[in-house]
Amino acid sequence: MNGKEVAKMRFRIVVLSVLGVLVLAEAAAACTAFHAVQGDVVLAGNNEDFFNPRTKVWFLPAQEGKYGRVYFGFDNFVPQGGMNEKGLFWDGFATAPRQVTRSADKPKYLGNLNDKVMSECATVEEVLTVFAQYNLDNMEGHQLMFGDAQGDSVIIEGDAIVRKKGRFQVVTNFRQSLTPAGQETCERYKTAVRMLERSEEVSIPVFRRVLMAAHQEADSPTLYSNIYDLQRRVVYLYHFHNFENVVVLDLAEELKKGKRELDLPALFPLTVAAEDFARKKLRQLEEQRNVKRATDVDPGIYDQYVGKYQLSGGPLPGLIVTILRQGDGLYMEASGVMRFELIPESATTFFYASVDSFVKATFTKDDQGRITGFDGQVDESKILGKRVE
């Protein structure tokens, strides 16, 4: 599977499964994470490898019985990984497609299951209890790692659960339940395992060295890296595989500032490598948007589209998505965590274009001119939305 195919699969599963419903917007063809414990030190590390330079970090304070949490991801605000205020960490990893069947008799969760567990769970055992309740057939192309502050971690593959053995666990982009020990071929996995085995300590410097050794460059580089101190609820953040500059985020202090989102690259000093990579990708994106963007649409008409729409078609019919207006922009939101701006192509047709995805929505009216729904497109696939509020 090449990078373009992975990207299309990634976003199609994210939006078709549906519009943020997915357990994960699959991270990329190559990502690496690990969780380790030594005494009262519990750390998790992650390299996020992909080709969308518009990386984000956002904070969701505790409310209505939900734990506060920080997420990292891209400009569609589908969480790719993060940590909650109980010290629970997660991230996701693309895999070769494989059908998930063992949970077929269970109901599908109409929302983002990752966000559900991150807002409700404090331990790996609690996460597994929640996942056991639902149909996981939307995990056919990815797997997840969760790790808690007590030192436990797990890889959820869809039809299989891989529990942590020993003082650390490593995950990349192959299914360990199907790979005999000693027959792993992923060099990033082997490098991380070898370095963690040889290290006599679990520490920030050790984790930084492992992330550095496993980072990627070329077309799908390591866009950001995290080291989570799960006991202290602190994140050490690095940008574009530059491990000399670090931003330290104390989750408790950040959550006190309220719900907010940050442009991740803007937190760091400029570097030639990161700027050159972003410039090339974003130039292509802006050219694509400008070709389709209508310049004569009055934002005043956006209010008629604001409301809730129930999806039909796709693997999770019944999901509610929200169209909302913010300033002079129109946005689509799902599950309270995914949100992206809809750019006008005409007075009734809007689109979202990123470096790895394309979404289109054409609003429909009844004989009285009232908005009844939209005909939607995600890459080459079709979805429908019926207005319900």
Q: Which of the residue ranges 21-30, 88-97, 107-116, 274-283 would you say has the lowest mean pLDDT? A: 21-30
Q: Which CATH superfamily is domain 3-280 in?
A: Penicillin V Acylase; Chain A (3.60.60.10)
User: What does residue 266 show for φ and ψ, rounded to 5 degrees?
Assistant: -70, -10
The tens digit of pLDDT for each residue in 140-171 reads 999 999 999 999 999 999 999 999 999 999 99
- Report the C-alpha gap between 279 and 294 in whole angstroms: 24
Burial of 90 (0-12, 13-18, 19+ CB in 10 A): buried
Mean pLDDT of 290-302: 90
Cis bond before residue 18 (omega within 30° of 0): yes
Helices (H), 149-203: 187-198
353: tokens are 């274009």
| Domains 3-280 and 292-387 equal at CATH topology level | no
User: What's residue 316's pLDDT?
Assistant: 60
- Please state, in angstroms and as integers, the Cα–Cα distance from residue 54 to each residue in 43, 63, 230, 239, following that order: 26, 28, 26, 12
Whole-model pTM? 0.84
- Report the C-alpha gap between 181 and 179 in whole angstroms: 6
The tens digit of pLDDT for each residue in 350-386 reads 998 877 678 889 999 999 999 999 998 876 778 899 9
Give the start-to-end residue ranges of the domains of the chain.
Answer: 3-280, 292-387
218: tokens are 């070329």
Mean pLDDT of 50-54: 91
Mean pLDDT of 86-91: 98
How many CB atoms are closer than 10 A to CB 247? 15
User: What's residue 100's pLDDT?
Assistant: 97
Buried b (16+ CB within 10 A) or exposed e, 210-232: bbbebbbeeebbbbbbbbbbbee
User: What's residue 78's pLDDT?
Assistant: 86
The alpha carbon of 144 is separated from its chain's Cα centroid by a whole number of angstroms, namely 11
Domain boundaries 292-387, CATH class = mainly beta
pLDDT of residue 250 exceeding 90, the answer is yes
Burial of 94 (0-12, 13-18, 19+ CB in 10 A): buried
